[in-house]
């Protein structure tokens, strides 16, 4: 026998350690868990395999879609670039021709020769025209590659040669487009002084065209435009490479997403975008007229539906998963059947022991066959003291034997009320409590009745609270009924009168019209319940917390009662949770009458005061006017005597007349102040220097009926203090 190696060599290799941990964990599991894990392992591997296959197919499909999308985008940009370069080249040529025409470097014949050469080299050009500033066609060349009636220009007074050409029928959509788009492009070129492209429109023969207007400018003077008309279909046909149109459908659309020309038939071009199609839109520059180049491609494959290999893998994986699940369910069925009975029994026992409601089961003869712990706790009797007992039961009070026997007979006959019955129960210690019992048939698994099930709840505390609430409600109702003020509560949402005391019913009856009048609303507001349900009936409520007392106090006069009411309103939450408005209306008719009498007495006192003031004013007017009138009389008498004696000079006469005029002006000011005093007006505030104000105030007699107040203000920029004085 070989000796054991040293202790250091007895340590297990690192690779064996996780294996021992796994087997130790596996032995700790129950057989049911081991079966579950043994079934889940192959199921998990199949699901991972299926997920890998789906991920691979999705990745390949996504890569294919991105390649097709990039191909459509590249071909669309190539088509847009080819058409754009052609338009830029033609625009440069037209600008050069417009410069020669505007500077009169070429005459009409030379223009027509250049137009012929221009149109011959450019099959997309329908026509080339020279338009005067008055929108009349001076010269025009029509391309022989297109119909002769595509280019039309509508103006108020066209030359005879232009008018002789055939026009589109009046009132058609083509005629309206021909009048609108060319005229708009002409006006834009005239205003902007640069080439302008018109929006595409439909010409005769349902051919879509658009125009470019190059302004003719001679030293900033506008003399007309050089108009080239393009065929949208020719641009697409001649300048989109053939290899592009072979790969994808290329279309030209206007700003309204309407197909003008397409490399394929109109049905695919006009079709809406679908999930199987790839669409790329690129704006056609430099026209800026809403033309869009659209490239559209269709996927050649229909995706995962047509992939047989994928669906075969999915079907085999699903079949494997189904078989594994079936095996797992079969293995678990017996263990579930074994634990079902135990689980159900434990659950029902826990539920019965946790219930606060007493449960009692009786057979058809009235013998107790089952009681739960709650029933035993209520009565104080043990379970073995109740099971098997026949009436009379030990929890019946001795003085209520006949009543309880009658109720038991009703239970056994199935005539117990559905709402339960109230009975007195006696505990084992002799105390009584109120309870409510509900009786229902006891049905077995086969649907046959085997007895009666009784549930019992202790309602002693609830009955006491109910009696207290009833007494409190009676006291509260008595107080409200005894109030001399009208108290009413109205539901805000339904306009339903929820409460009204005796005073309210005496004055307004039992409807909600009186509440609406007291709240300040008209009688029609009470009928809001018939209005449109979409209207928010809570829109006028206050924003603060509704249950707080608000300061909404107002006085309302009820004409039918000839009474004034002081109304106080607040919002409350009714007993059922509805929002309600409570009004307390106090009769203040006597107070209003006293206030009216006091108001009449005050008006009489004011009239007397005004009469006294008028007397004082008349005396003041007489005194104030006496001085200037006396001075005027003296001046006039002196001037008359000196004029009669020829002893007055012209300067003295002028000085005397000026003094007389000042006295007359002074008398006028006195009358003006008296009139301003009598007339009710706002105070007249003026800004003046303080020295001037004091001189003005010093000239006013102390007994003047006019008054003034002066308020000092900061010093002005000139250094002189100023004040604001008010004349009243």
pLDDT (tens digit, 9 = 90+) per residue, 656-665? 888 888 888 8
Shared domain for 167 and 279, answered yes or no, is yes
Would you say residue 536 has pLDDT above 70? no
Distance, first Cα to last Cα, the chain = 138
Is residue 211 within 8 Å of residue 185, measured between CB atoms?
Answer: yes
Number of Cβ within 10 Å of residue 225's Cβ equals 30
Residues 128 and 233 both lie in one domain: yes
Q: What is the mean pLDDT of residues 556-561?
A: 83
Where b means 16+ CB within 10 Å and e means fewer, 615-633 reads: eeeeebeeebeeebeebbe
Q: What is the dihedral of CA 627, 628, 632, 634, to 10 degrees?
A: 20
- Band (pLDDT 50/70/90 cuts) for residue 9 is very low
- 371 in Cβ contact with 359 (< 8 Å): yes
- 25 within some domain: no
CA neighbours closer than 13 Å in the CB half-sphere of residue 727: 20
What Å distances lie between residue 45 and 25, 50, 328, 571, CA to CA? 21, 9, 15, 67
- How far, in Å, CA of 459 to CA of 423, rounded? 10
The residue among 227 and 557 whose pLDDT is bigger is 227
Choose the final residue of a domain: 465, 499, 514.
465
Residue 8 lies in a domain: no
Q: Look at residue 710 and tell me whether its pLDDT is greater than 80.
A: no
Inter-residue contact 372 to 387 (CB < 8 Å): no
Count other Cβ atoms within 10 Å, centred on residue 102: 19
Cβ neighbour number for residue 575 with a 10 Å cutoff: 8
Residue of 699 and 152 predicted with greater confidence: 699
Tell me the two tokens of residue 178: 């021909």
Between 129 and 339, name the one with better pLDDT: 129
pLDDT at 305 over 60: no
Do 280 and 314 belong together in one domain?
no
Pair 178, 168: CB distance under 8 Å: yes
- Tell me what pLDDT residue 215 has: 92
Bridge pairing between strands 368-371 and 358-363: antiparallel
- Are residues 232 and 120 part of one domain? yes
Q: Say if residue 454's pLDDT is above 60.
A: yes
Backbone φ and ψ of 380, nearest 5°: 85, 0
Q: How far apart are CA 500 and CA 506, in angstroms?
A: 10
CA 118 to chain CA mean position, Å = 60
CA distance 487 to 505: 9
- For residue 527, pLDDT over 70 is answered with no
CA distances from 625 to 549, 612, 697, 727 (A): 64, 20, 18, 20
Same domain, 274 and 398: no
Please tell me the predicted confidence (pLDDT) of residue 591: 86
Range of the domain at 292: 69-298
Q: Are 126 and 141 in contact (CB under 8 A)?
A: no
One domain for residues 272 and 206: yes
Q: Is 339 found in the same domain as 312?
A: yes
Q: Indicate whether 613 belongs to any domain.
A: yes
Each residue of 451-467: b (16+ CB within 10 Å) or e? bbbbbbbbbeeeeeeee
Q: What is the pLDDT of residue 711?
A: 53
- Give the Cα separation of 437 and 470 in Å (integer): 23
| Bridge partner residues of 208 (DSSP) | 202
H or E, element range at 277: strand 277-283
Last residue of a domain, one of 346, 368, 402: 346
Closest CA to 77 of 292, 238, 314: 292
As a whole number of angstroms, the distance between CA 19 and CA 40 comes to 20
Q: If pLDDT is split at 50, 70 and 90, which confidence band does 486 have?
A: confident
The candidate with the shortest Cα–Cα distance to 151, out of 139, 309, 160, is: 139
Confidence of residue 124 (pLDDT cuts 50, 70, 90): confident
| Token pair recorded at residue 108 | 């009409």
> Tens of pLDDT along 203-223?
766 788 899 999 998 887 888
Average pLDDT of the segment spanning 586-613: 86
In a domain, 168, yes or no: yes
Answer with the one of 409, 432, 465 that is the final residue of a domain.
465
Cα 595 to the center of its chain, rounded Å: 51
Residue 356 reports pLDDT greater than 70: yes
Of all residues in the chain, what percent carry a pLDDT higher than 70?
Answer: 78
Specify whether 212 is located in the same domain as 88. Answer: yes
> For residue 672, what is the domain's CATH number?
1.10.287
Q: How many CA atoms lie within 13 A of 79 on its CB side?
A: 35
Least confident of 87-101, 384-398, 447-461, 532-546: 532-546
Whether the per-residue pLDDT at 12 is higher than 70: the answer is no
Quick one: tokens of 234?
Answer: 């020719």
Secondary structure (DSSP) of 147-187: -TTS-----SS--HHHHTS--PPTTSHHHHHHHHHHHHHHH
- Across the chain, mean pLDDT equals 77
116 and 209 both lie in a single domain: yes
Q: Is residue 281 part of a domain?
A: yes
Same domain, 659 and 706: no
pLDDT in tens, 261-301: 888 865 444 444 444 578 888 888 777 778 888 888 876 65
Is residue 100 within 8 A of residue 107, CB to CB? The reply is no
User: Could you give the 3-state DSSP secondary structure of residue 571?
Assistant: strand
Distance of CA 626 to the CA centre of its chain: 78
**Nearest residue to 251 (alpha-carbon basis) of 224, 276, 288, 279:** 279
Is pLDDT larger for residue 701 or for residue 239? 239
User: Would you say residue 59 lies in a domain?
Assistant: no
- Asked if the structure places residue 19 within a domain, the reply is no
Q: Report pLDDT for 225.
A: 92
Same domain flag for 262 and 370: no
Q: Do residues 628 and 667 lie in contact, with contact meaning Cβ atoms separated by under 8 Å? A: yes
Chain-centre distance of CA 347, in angstroms? 51
Reduce the DSSP state of residue 188 to 3 states and report it.
helix
pLDDT at 227: 92
144 has pLDDT over 60: yes
Predicted confidence (pLDDT) at residue 509 exceeds the cutoff of 50: yes
**459 and 339 within one domain:** no
3-state secondary structure of 323: helix
CATH number, domain containing residue 141: 3.30.450.20
Split into its structural domains, the chain has a count of 5
Most confident range, picked from 201-215, 353-367, 490-504: 353-367
> Taking a C-beta distance cutoff of 8 angstroms, is the pair 452, 413 a contact?
no
> 526: which DSSP letter?
G
* Calpha distance 451→444 (Å, rounded): 9
CA distance 431 to 294: 95
Asked if residue 32 belongs to a domain, the reply is no
Beta strand residue intervals within 353-512, DSSP E: 358-363, 368-371, 421-426, 432-443, 449-458, 486-491, 497-500
The reported pLDDT for the residue numbered 721 is 54
Phi, psi angle pair for 444, to nearest 5°: -85, -175
Residues counted in the chain: 728
Instruction: Specify the DSSP element, H or E, that contains 615.
Output: helix 589-644
């Amino acid at each position: 026998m070989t000796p054991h190696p040293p202790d250091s060599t007895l340590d297990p290799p690192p690779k064996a350690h996780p294996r021992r941990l796994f087997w130790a964990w596996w032995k700790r599991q129950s057989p049911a868990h081991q079966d579950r894990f043994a079934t889940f392992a192959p199921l998990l591997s199949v699901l991972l395999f299926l997920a890998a296959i789906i991920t691979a197919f999705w990745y390949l499909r996504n890569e294919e879609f991105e390649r097709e999308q990039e191909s459509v985008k590249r071909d669309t940009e190539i088509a847009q670039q080819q058409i754009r370069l052609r338009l830029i080249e033609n625009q440069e040529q037209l600008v050069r021709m417009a410069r020669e025409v505007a500077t009169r470097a070429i005459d009409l014949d030379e223009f027509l020769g250049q137009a012929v050469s221009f149109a011959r080299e450019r099959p997309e050009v329908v026509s080339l025209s020279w338009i005067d500033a008055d929108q009349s066609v001076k010269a025009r060349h029509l391309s022989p590659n297109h119909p002769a009636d595509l280019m039309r220009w509508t103006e108020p007074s066209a030359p005879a040669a232009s008018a002789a050409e055939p026009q589109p029928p009046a009132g058609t959509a083509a005629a309206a487009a021909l009048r609108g788009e060319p005229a708009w492009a002409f006006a834009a070129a005239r205003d902007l002084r640069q080439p302008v492209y018109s929006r595409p429109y439909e010409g005769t023969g349902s051919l879509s065209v658009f125009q470019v207007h190059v302004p003719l400018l001679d030293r900033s003077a506008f003399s007309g435009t050089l108009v080239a008309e393009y065929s949208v279909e020719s641009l697409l046909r001649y300048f989109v490479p053939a290899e592009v149109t072979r790969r994808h459908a290329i279309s030209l659309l206007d700003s309204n997403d309407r197909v003008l020309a397409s490399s394929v038939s109109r049905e695919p071009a006009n079709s809406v975008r679908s999930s199987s199609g790839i669409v790329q839109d690129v704006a056609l520059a430099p026209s800026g007229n809403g033309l869009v180049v659209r490239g559209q491609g269709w996927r050649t494959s229909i995706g995962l539906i047509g992939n047989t290999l994928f669906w075969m893998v999915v079907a085999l994986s699903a079949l494997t998963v189904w078989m594994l699940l079936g095996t797992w369910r079969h293995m678990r069925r017996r263990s579930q059947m074994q634990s079902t009975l135990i689980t159900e029994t434990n659950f029902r026992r826990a539920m019965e022991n946790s219930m606060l409601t007493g449960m009692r089961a009786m057979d058809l003869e009235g013998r107790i066959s089952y009681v739960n712990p709650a029933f035993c706790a209520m009565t104080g009797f043990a379970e073995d003291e109740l099971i098997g007992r026949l009436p009379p039961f030990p929890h019946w009070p001795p003085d209520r034997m006949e009543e309880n026997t009658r109720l038991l007979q009703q239970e056994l006959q199935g005539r117990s009320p559905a709402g339960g019955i109230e009975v007195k129960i006696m505990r084992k210690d002799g105390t009584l409590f109120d309870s409510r019992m509900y009786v229902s048939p006891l049905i077995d698994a086969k649907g046959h009745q085997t007895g009666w099930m009784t549930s019992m709840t202790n309602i002693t505390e609830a009955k006491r609270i109910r009696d207290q609430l009833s007494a409190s409600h009676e006291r509260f109702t008595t107080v409200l009924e005894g109030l001399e003020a009208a108290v009413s509560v109205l539901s805000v949402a339904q306009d339903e009168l929820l409460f009204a005391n005796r005073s309210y019913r005496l004055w307004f009856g039992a409807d909600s019209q009186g509440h609406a009048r007291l709240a300040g609303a008209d009688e029609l507001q009470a009928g809001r319940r018939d209005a449109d349900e979409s209207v928010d009936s809570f829109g006028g409520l206050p924003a603060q917390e509704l249950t707080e007392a608000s300061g909404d106090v107002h006085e309302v006069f009820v004409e039918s009662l000839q009474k004034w009411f002081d109304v106080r309103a607040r919002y409350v939450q009714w007993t059922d949770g509805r929002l309600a408005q409570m009004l307390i209306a106090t009769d203040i008719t006597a107070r209003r009458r006293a206030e009216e009498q006091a108001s009449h007495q005050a008006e009489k006192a004011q009239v007397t005061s005004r009469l006294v003031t008028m007397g004082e004013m008349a005396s003041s007017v007489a005194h104030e006017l006496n001085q200037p009138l006396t001075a005027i009389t003296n001046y006039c008498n002196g001037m008359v005597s000196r004029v009669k004696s020829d002893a007055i000079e012209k300067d003295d006469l002028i000085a005397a007349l000026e003094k007389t005029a000042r006295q007359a002006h002074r008398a006028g000011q006195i009358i003006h102040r008296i009139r301003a005093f009598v007339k009710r007006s706002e105070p007249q505030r003026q800004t003046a220097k303080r020295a001037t104000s004091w001189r003005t105030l010093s000239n006013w007699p102390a007994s003047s009926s006019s008054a003034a107040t002066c308020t000092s203000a900061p010093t002005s920029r000139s250094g002189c203090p100023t004040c604001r004085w008010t004349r009243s």
